Amino acid sequence: MSSLSKILILISMAIIGSCQANPVMDMDNDSTVTPLPERVYSMLPDTTLPSVDALEWKVEVLDTVNSGTLDTLRSLYDDAPGIFTFRGNVFRDAPFVGHVNGTPDTILLDWQFTTGYDSRNTDYGVWGGGTGWTGQPLYVRWPDSLMTRFRNESNALTRSFSQEEIIVGSLASRVYFINFATGDSSRRSLPTRNPIKGTVSLDPTLNGNLYVGQGIPAKHPFGALTFNLFSHSETNFFPHDKKAWRKWGAYDSSPIRVAQFLFRPGENGTLYKFLVKGDTLKLHSTLQFRKRHSSAAGMEASMSVYNNYGYISDNHGNILCVNLNTMHPVWRYDNHDDSDGSPVLAIEDGVPYLYSACELDKQGGKGKCYFVKLNALNGELVWEQTFSCKITTSNGKKREGGQFATPLLGRGNCDSIIFTHIVTNEKPGLRGDFVAISRNDGHVVYTLHMDHYAWSSPVALLNDNSEMFIFTGDTRGRAYLIEAKSGKILCSRKVGNNFEGSPIVIGNSIVVGSRGRTIYKLKIQ
């Protein structure tokens, strides 16, 4: 028996349940994929598969006193009272599913919130306000005990402070707090010194920590921030890392809390692991990696997690599985090109699978977006679908093609489908496609041609009959309501300036930011 075979057997033994069936053999079966409702919590083995040989990598343990082993495998986000990170949880599978009555056909404006405007001229232009990519708001319904604590300890609350609160990082170099019901400011904004492009992350243990990554260096120092919401103050700053293999120090990735650790992928090619005690952070260990004979690549996507395995993608097409206990790579898959959309996990027939896609950047002027489904335990390809796209120039700016959004897993009557946006840049204009893809075999169920491309990640709503509807927005500020099963557009409305940021859905309400200066709350009816 080969060493690879032995490794794969060990991985299979670590999963309880029916893992014997090879899903690749069932690709002709069009039966509905129904993810199991419950995860199996079992520590996965510390193995390094041969695919990792394509990398140079280095783990540095800075804290030799505290064990690096996760003290729980259960997701801390499962019990969080709201949406605390990009796409809601460790699977990045958008669990926040809204509810509508019947077949909705209307998008109404509930309120709009105006941010500041950062007029500084950086090396990368003026960034203004509102939200950029990925720019997803957070939503929290604070427990009564924390409402009392905020009122006793924080001097930042306004008269509109409420139990239901929106928290959003802005290109205006501030974090804003908004009363979910009224759209009024609920606290003083927090200054971040530099524009925020990514999605901020709230610690699910409710220790008060808000994790923020700076996106554009308007001034130095430039790096990653932690704020405590009880004191309404900055409590930790992680600056430029001189040891990093790449010198770009932005943090667009939304940090993820796993057990007693916070994991933060950096655009400097380093994955950071911080020990969190109370509300304090201490750097525990780091992983640096790159293709052999190549430079390090940045990580803009957010990490997904299954038990003690973490999944990240980077600007050079690496999709990497990491053992979060040891920070050692487990497997690596080459997906051809820059990947900014976050990998999405799904458990199907007891087996975890990873969905990911790339952009058109390194391939040249014309090429393909590769959308793949991988076995999350070993990185083996289940299926691959490709989409033709091209790079174009508009207003003097290079516009890459491919996937920038994070895919949306189907729900209800669409649970065998996964949905995503593909930037095609076809004429006329800067066009894009909204595509529905079979999770069973990767065939395209339908393609919806849009007048303008989209970077914003779609979200789901269900009615009482488990019929799925999708809300999404494009880069010209148009909002769409789509019947998920057929791809029929039920409503489209020009709302904002440019929806680069991703929305959240609570009930039949959508909260989404736009480039410019505006955050919107919309009603779906």
Q: Domain limits at 350?
A: 3-524
Q: For residue 413, what is the domain's CATH number?
A: 2.130.10.10
CB within 8 A of 145, min separation 6: which ones?
A: none
| Total number of domains constituting the chain | 1
What are the tens digits of pLDDT across the range 363-401? 989 999 999 999 999 999 999 999 999 999 888 788 999
Q: Is the pLDDT of residue 9 over 70?
A: no
> Tokens standing for 68?
């690096």
Q: Tokens for 406?
A: 């994070």
Task: Concatenate the DSSP letters of all residues of 301-333 into one string.
Answer: SPPEEETTEEEEE-TTSEEEEEETTTTEEEEEE
How far apart, in Å, are the Cα atoms of 465 and each of 103, 364, 459, 461, 491?
Answer: 10, 46, 18, 11, 20
Residues 6+ apart with CB under 8 A from 149: 230
Q: Is the peptide bond before 221 cis (omega within 30 degrees of 0)?
A: yes
Give tens-digit pLDDT for 200-254.
999 999 999 999 999 999 999 999 999 999 999 999 999 999 999 999 999 999 9
Contacts of 311 (CB under 8 A, 6+ apart): 303, 304, 305, 319, 320, 321, 322, 343, 345, 354, 376
The tokens describing 349, both together, are 């027939």
- Report whether 285 contacts 62 (CB < 8 A): yes
pLDDT band at 3 (very low <50, low <70, confident <90, very high): very low
Question: Is the pLDDT at 267 greater than 70, yes or no?
Answer: yes
User: Which residues, in sequence order, are bridge partners of residue 82?
Assistant: 140
Beta bridge partners of 407: none
pTM for this prediction: 0.92
Query: What is d(CA 221, CA 193) in angstroms, rounded to the nearest whole number?
Result: 9
Using DSSP bridges, classify how beta strands 98-99 and 459-462 pair: parallel, antiparallel or unpaired. Answer: parallel
What pLDDT does residue 16 have?
Answer: 33
The reported pLDDT for the residue numbered 38 is 55
Residues ≥6 apart with Cβ < 8 Å to 22: none
Task: Pull the structure tokens for residue 4.
Answer: 């690879």
Span 325-377, pLDDT tens digits? 999 999 999 999 999 999 999 999 999 999 999 999 999 899 999 999 999 99
pLDDT at 6 over 60: no
- Is the pLDDT at 429 greater than 90? The verdict is no
Contacts of residue 456, defined as CB under 8 A and 6 or more positions apart, other chains included, come to 405, 421, 472, 473, 474, 499, 500, 501, 502, 503, 512
pLDDT for 95 equals 81
Is residue 36 pLDDT above 90, yes or no?
Answer: no
Q: Which uninterrupted H or E stretch holds 6?
A: helix 3-13
Nearest alpha carbon to residue 212 among 248, 173, 184: 173
